[in-house]
Amino acid sequence: MADHDRVFAGFVEEVRGRAGAPLLSVVAHGSALGPQFRPGVSDYNFLLVADPVDLALLERLATLAGKWRKRRISVPLVVRPIFIASALDSWPLEFLSMTAQYRVLYGDDPLAGISFQQEHIRLQCEREIRSKLILFRQAYIECEGAPKRLKQALDRGWPSLLAIFRGLLYLKGGPWQAQGEPAWKASADLLALPPNLLPELHAMRLSRSTPARGLITARFDQVLETLRRLSEEVDRW
């Protein structure tokens, strides 16, 4: 059994033991299912579908949080079935990212057959781009130019940037389900991103060393300029 499969099996066993009858489905999604996963850096991500989702269920799951942190398992998204159906208009990017790469580990497939409307994705992309632009500007000021803190800010923003670019690829009719380098190349080609921006941000995220001030400042500037440009362009799509 592969290491990922051991983590998946252990997670399902733990969750079923704590959640009990309300648990309907367990879904793994994200980088653990693809070649871009990096041990010690990447996290495991799960979707739990249950009914009901009440405080008693959350309290039972909370007893596992310490174990999950040690295994780099992110706090799972816990929703009722109706949440997925009703959130596709206001929260499409999150479910678009899930459907790009996922595996059902227990129960029925809660993502089967879902579809997205272009305008819903466009609106969330525009909102997220503007939000991230403001947040990154604030982060740059708050970090006072310190390379280590700037790297941490970019590292934290990496998943959100990927989700935004995936949504924009969907709108452009590009390979939105692509992962890793194919997704980065498509983003550069179809969205006019700086060709090496995403590969270099990814490499920097994997590195445990602090980049030189000039390098991290240049990357931050590229991210800010890319988000500024896209915020103006997507508004006209």
pLDDT in tens, 192-219: 999 999 999 999 988 889 999 999 999 9
Please indicate, yes or no, if residue 113 is contained in any of the structural domains. no
- Reported as a pLDDT band with limits 50, 70 and 90, residue 1 is very low
Into how many domains does the chain fold?
Answer: 2
**Long-range contacts of the stretch 169-174 (C-beta < 8 A, 24+):** 170/96, 170/116, 170/118, 170/121, 171/118, 171/121, 171/122, 171/125, 171/237
Residues 57-111: tens digit of each pLDDT? 999 999 999 999 999 999 999 999 999 999 999 999 999 999 999 999 999 999 9
Task: Say if 179 falls within a structural domain.
Answer: yes
Q: List the beta bridge partners of residue 79.
A: 49
Q: Is residue 176 situated within a structural domain?
A: yes
95 and 129 in a single domain? The answer is no
